[in-house]
Structure 1
């Protein structure tokens, strides 16, 4: 099969490292980050509350300057010009109080001709609020209870419409421990209400605490999952690298063996051709050289064909539709007729039992023929002179089963290793070893058409079992 790119394990490791570090950092700082975010939300609501109240004050002052009426939130007002009172509303002939003149002085725009009283003569300002408008020259004394009812409390209700938050007005005599609210943010209002503070907090602190715990738990789980991903990626990466290293080592060994295997028949071919080119050969010598040419050409062709098939199947595995299906009995009989002379020449006897072969059974012709050719060639190489080779076909629930066995020395302690690419049997001798691809290609081919091939230890000898699938 085609090996996956080296990029993906590296990306998985990098992703695991980044996710693990990020998750641990978030888990460590999530509580502080969430609290800071909650404080920022409360601060934004407090700022919006101050904006609403300031806008309401400006609207009342605009109403005062625009007409003769006095807004209900303003208790008294005096308009001054060149130090003299030219207009008053709600004052009933009373002059501006001294503390209001101090307000004007404090705001750095005292009315001309109005001298504020010394600080020692000022009264308490906790429940008093005044404003000086230098443009039109109005000194304004606010009615704090009316201002609280008509402006501040509606603004508190508007900002606190979200059920998650509560907004409260904190007056100078308010005890914060009696508010039954954990203040997340507190700030004073703009003048002239700077002696009042507004506070914002969560309506349900328990929900926030549980949310923080859940968030922290989720982040720790994410960190754990990222760590597992990292460990898994590193493990898979290490396994893949080890497997790739072993495959490269085995492939180098195979290339060395394949080169040696090709060099031998090519040398025989070259020697036979040179002998034929020299001429003056007897008929027997000519026949011997031609036999060598034919035999070695077949050996080279078979090796090259296996190499090409293996490389092709690595990139595009075969499917059942690519094979030509023919009656299994006919294919087996034809393949046995082709192999019988070679077995007899090697001193092996062949026993065939196809009595249970159903006439309707079909199989991939080329794959089945290659299977018999490979198994019988292996028996000819390794079973030894005088051994018996048996080919038997039996029925099974789905399809038929082909069994090829011999009475040779056997397969060794690990028969399954014979089907790995580039592997050869433990008894393979120098000069008689194959490419190590034949059985691997057979297993690959049968698996892609729905069949299977396996090796078993015979009693004695070797035993190969091929499960032929029914045609889809």
Structure 2
């Protein structure tokens, strides 16, 4: 018997590598995803710093063009070259901070960003101002850091993101901000000494999401292992099934060869005896002719069964020939009654009552019954009577029982195994019967008959016909 082929090493190695990579990825996923989120915070911080500078510039242009004070501006003073206040917004604004004003007036013709470490301001020269008071040198704009932090930054975040942003002066804690900054961007003057911090809005949700992703990857690795193990198991099961099929095929061929060789050998011996002149007497010649006819019939029957078996293998779904099962039982019993009587065996058969019949796989039932009777004639030790009974235990089933009153077979036959009653000579027929019954959806079993001998029970799908 040939050995099973080894597992494909390439497929096994690839599957193991994929499973290992999935496990390593699940172990490193939390840190990798966390780092990716923090890097995204840094990118958001740089982007918001650029948007923040643009927003400040837009508000300065509004103040210069319209004279309107944006909410983010704490106060604005229009002053002359001596520093005297010509206009202030709001009207109740205090005097401008002297240090910032002095720095602005040194280069009064240039726009400048001012930062004394505690306050952030802008100087807008007069030529950039619309509707400026006569004699104005420019306008000093003082930013309200609290309003800038509260109202200007949050709208700069991309819609739908789960980040938070704050303008950091330094020293703020995560508890005060409500989040921990993970990315920092630096705006342009006058807020150059400040920082724009971006962090995760809900770090707990992020941790839960990371944990869920890690579990997902761990589940994926487990699934890959299961798929790999299942594939290996399926491969091994298929290999074992192929080995069993190969073994059954070899045993089947051995039985077929034996079944065909025996009648061929007898035919050859009879033919050579006649041709060689060894048989001269009419009685001897008649016996040789009887041998030829008997073995020819046996050979024809065997070849016919083999052809049926091959047709079933080629087309397992081919419909079976249906017919009256009672007529088939009566025909086969009538054909075998004389041969059984010659060996001292009385054949009795019982059929369903008049007025009803069973329709089913007639040819299969006839072959099976002929095989059972042939084996009983050869191997029913000490038997004097053979009972054949056809019945319908259910509406969709026909049951055929063949029993004898002998002492039973010398071994414990089993139609489901490799050995069948009758040895090698009768084994092929029973194997063909067994496979035909299984293909038809029937059932074949052996047991001890009430008469004491062997009982064979065959069940086939059938239907009652009135």
Q: What TM-score do the two structures reach when normalised by structure 1?
A: 0.72
- 1:424 paired to 2:408: no
Partner of 1:108: none
How do 1:295-374 residues align onto structure 2 when only pairs under 5 Å count?
A: 295-318=294-317, 322-354=319-351, 356=353, 359-374=356-371
Partner of 2:133: none
- Give deviations 1:391-449, integer Å, cap 9, x for gaps: 11234232442211122533744x54x235xx2326615x55436622322322431xx
Q: Distance in 2 between matches of 1:311 and 1:8?
A: 32
Partner of 1:464: 456
How do 1:61-80 residues align onto structure 2 when only pairs under 5 Å count?
A: none
Q: Distance in 2 between matches of 1:400 and 1:26?
A: 62
The alpha carbon displacement at 1:458 in A equals 3.4
Q: Distance in 2 between matches of 1:131 and 1:441?
A: 103
2:29 aligns to what SS in structure 1?
helix
Partner of 1:294: 293
- 1:434 paired to 2:449: no
Q: Distance in 1 between matches of 2:115 and 2:164?
A: 34
How do 1:195-274 residues align onto structure 2 when only pairs under 5 Å count?
A: 195-274=193-272
Q: Is 2:361–2:462's contact at 8 Å kept on the other side of the alignment?
A: no
Q: Distance in 2 between matches of 1:468 and 1:204?
A: 71
Q: Any gaps of 5 or more consecutive residues in structure 2?
A: 84-99, 129-137
Q: Distance in 2 between matches of 1:154 and 1:411?
A: 102
Q: Distance in 1 between matches of 2:211 and 2:157?
A: 28
The alpha carbon displacement at 1:35 in A equals 1.6
1:361 aligns to what SS in structure 2?
strand
Q: Is 1:169–1:196's contact at 8 Å kept on the other side of the alignment?
A: yes
The alpha carbon displacement at 1:334 in A equals 0.8
Partner of 1:84: none
Q: Distance in 2 between matches of 1:17 and 1:257?
A: 45
2:423 aligns to what SS in structure 1?
coil
Q: Is 1:130–1:192's contact at 8 Å kept on the other side of the alignment?
A: yes
The alpha carbon displacement at 1:454 in A equals 2.0
Q: Distance in 2 between matches of 1:74 and 1:40?
A: 33
Q: Distance in 2 between matches of 1:306 and 1:12?
A: 43
- 1:389 paired to 2:386: yes
Moved more, 403-412 or 7-16: 7-16
2:238 aligns to what SS in structure 1?
helix
1:454 aligns to what SS in structure 2?
strand
Aligned length: 426
- 1:453 paired to 2:444: yes
The alpha carbon displacement at 1:94 in A equals 5.8
| RMSD over aligned Cα atoms | 4.6
